[in-house]
């Protein structure tokens, strides 16, 4: 829900901050877990990062000038992908199952074969046209003799 517009939107269209467990705050400016300034509503010395989280400059230094909320979220998601890939790579293949990498290579080689066949057909057609032109020229010259 976007409070300012009072409409529901798909979270996929919002910046990264809205995908994390720590969403940008609606009632204050700074998204630091322990804001250093007593007036957390004041945004005059703050910055809103591209992810959507806002911080006072002093509070952002606590996070080494990066958004730890989004960094942690991305690190966790990357780790999930790594774990999934590792599990897939260490799972033994079933009988007659083709490895994904080999399947991809075969698909690419089929595409290359299609391109090679097309190229060969085009050259062959061009050669036939050239031979026809040569024969036609010879025939034309024969009549003039």
Per-residue pLDDT, 49: 92
At 14-63, the pLDDT tens digits run: 788 888 888 888 778 888 888 888 766 666 788 999 999 999 888 888 88
Which ranges of 47-144 would DSSP assign to H, the alpha helix?
Answer: 57-62, 68-90, 100-144
At 72-90, the pLDDT tens digits run: 888 888 898 888 888 877 8
Task: Give 71: exposed, middle or buried? Use CB within 10 Å, 0-12, 13-18, 19+.
Answer: middle
Please name which of 4, 62, 69 lies closest in space to residue 35, comparing C-alpha atoms: 62
The mean pLDDT of 128-137, rounded to a whole number, is: 79
At 92-126, the pLDDT tens digits run: 777 777 766 555 555 555 556 667 778 888 888 88
Residue partners of 42: CB distance under 8 A and separation at least 6: 29, 56
């Amino acid at each position: 829900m976007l409070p300012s517009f009072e409409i529901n939107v798909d979270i996929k269209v919002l910046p990264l901050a809205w995908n994390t467990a720590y969403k940008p705050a609606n009632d204050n400016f700074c998204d630091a877990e322990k804001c250093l300034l007593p007036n957390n509503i004041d945004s005059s010395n703050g910055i809103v990062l591209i992810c959507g989280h806002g911080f006072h400059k002093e509070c952002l230094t606590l996070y080494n000038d990066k958004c730890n909320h989004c960094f942690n979220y991305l690190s966790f998601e990357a780790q999930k992908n790594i774990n999934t890939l590792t599990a897939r790579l260490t799972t033994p293949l079933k009988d007659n199952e083709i490895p994904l990498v080999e399947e991809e290579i075969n698909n690419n080689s089929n595409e290359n074969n299609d391109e090679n066949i097309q190229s060969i057909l085009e050259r062959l057609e061009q050669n036939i046209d050239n031979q026809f032109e040569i024969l036609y020229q010879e025939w034309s010259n024969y009549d003039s003799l």
